[in-house]
Structure 1
Amino acid sequence: MIKILAFGASNSSDSINKQLAHHAALQFPDAVVELLDLNDYEMPIYSKDREKAGGIPPLAHDFYQKIGASDLIVISFAENNGNYTTAFKNILDWMSRINGKTFQEKPMLLLATSPGARGGSTVLDIAVKRMPYQGGVVKGSFSLPSFNENFEIGTGITNPDLEAQLASIIGSITI
């Protein structure tokens, strides 16, 4: 049984990326999925001065430990102005002070979605290129365009071609 850590890289209370990450993680056979909410890891905005004054927040250590305890990480990225959300970037910045290889050489499935036709593809491209530098082993990536037309809560991806694409990517991932 593999342990999957999944989250949407967004602090939106109704994050479509959290929904997609959860859906994708549940597609792995024989897996236990832990779904995180970035709102549970809200910390002061990283700065050297804050780190010097108070050290690394316990929440950064908690998140880092959850990564270390997982066998696979599934992240779905929300796109803000063509890049990561501030909530995700701040957690990443704090954890990188624990270890620059934040993702501890764990295999990763990287996803993105948005209401628009590009499905967060700009931030997904950034993440696919960046995560190896952060210690992530990217095993696959997938962008779901037009979330509201292609995803239904309780059902998942409703477009058969897109669901088949994701299933093929998931099927190719070995842990």
Structure 2
Amino acid sequence: MKVLAIAGSNSEVSMNKHLVSYAASIFGEKAEVEVIDLNPFEMPIYKHERELANGVPQEAKDFAAKIDGANLLLVSLAEHNGTYSTAFKNVFDWVSRIKDRTVWNEVPMLLMSTSPGGRGGAGVLEAAGKRFPFHGGNVVETFSLPFFNDNFDKAAGKISNEEKDKELREKLIKISAIETILEK
């Protein structure tokens, strides 16, 4: 099984990258896992005239190829003002312009978010949960981790809140449909 873990942020210290990296680590050596953030996929801000003049950037095609090579997506989105980060939205916009494809290509997905506040990225999860299915998003489960600084141990690289950790593991089992693939 190939798992692509996407941190929907371009921050060098992204809490969503911490979360998605931890979720991916639960698979252990029983899956081929790749964790990416948006920095290698930075492109000019989408503009129709830019697309007409230069076509779709190679970075968008590379991002799409990573999705196409995965059996499972773990996507953890940063929330900026109640929705996606600008960096994520730009990658999303460019990939949506690739001819004859949907952005997510129907690959099963666990959609996640975390934030320092009590809503845990609820706004971006709602926005993505509504929008992604129109772009080939097969959102099987969602997971929110509120109060990141209280519920995640960055030094250990894992969720410190036992209840939230159990919830994440249960959702990973459901989405992967293979309980034995997860580390106990």
Letter in 2 for 1:7: I
Native 8 Å contact 2:133 2:139 kept in 1: yes
Letter in 2 for 1:139: V
Native 8 Å contact 2:110 2:142 kept in 1: yes
1:138 maps to 139
Cα distance in 2 for residues equivalent to 1:167 and 1:37: 22
Native 8 Å contact 2:96 2:102 kept in 1: yes
Cα distance in 2 for residues equivalent to 1:43 and 1:155: 30
2:51 maps to 51
Matched, 1:97 2:88: no
With 91-100 and 51-60 compared, the bigger mean Cα shift is at 91-100
Q: Find runs of 4+ consecutive structure 1 residues off by over 3 angstroms.
A: none
1:4 maps to 3
Residue 155 of structure 1 deviates from its aligned partner by 4.0
Q: What is the number of equivalent residue pairs in this alignment?
A: 174
Q: Compute the TM-score of the two structures, normalised by the length of structure 2.
A: 0.91
**Which residues of 2 match residues 1-175 of structure 1 at below 5 A?**
2-28=1-27, 30-98=30-98, 99=100, 101-153=102-154, 154-174=156-176
Residue 28 of structure 1 deviates from its aligned partner by 2.9
Cα distance in 2 for residues equivalent to 1:24 and 1:91: 22
Q: Percent identity?
A: 48
The answer for unaligned runs of 5 or more in structure 2 is: 178-184
Letter in 1 for 2:166: A
**C-alpha distance after superposition, 1:121-156 (max 9, x if no partner):** 111111112111110111111000000000012240
Cα distance in 1 for residues equivalent to 2:50 and 2:175: 39
Residue 100 of structure 1 deviates from its aligned partner by 5.1
Residue 25 of structure 1 deviates from its aligned partner by 1.7
With 92-101 and 142-151 compared, the bigger mean Cα shift is at 92-101
Cα distance in 1 for residues equivalent to 2:63 and 2:157: 29
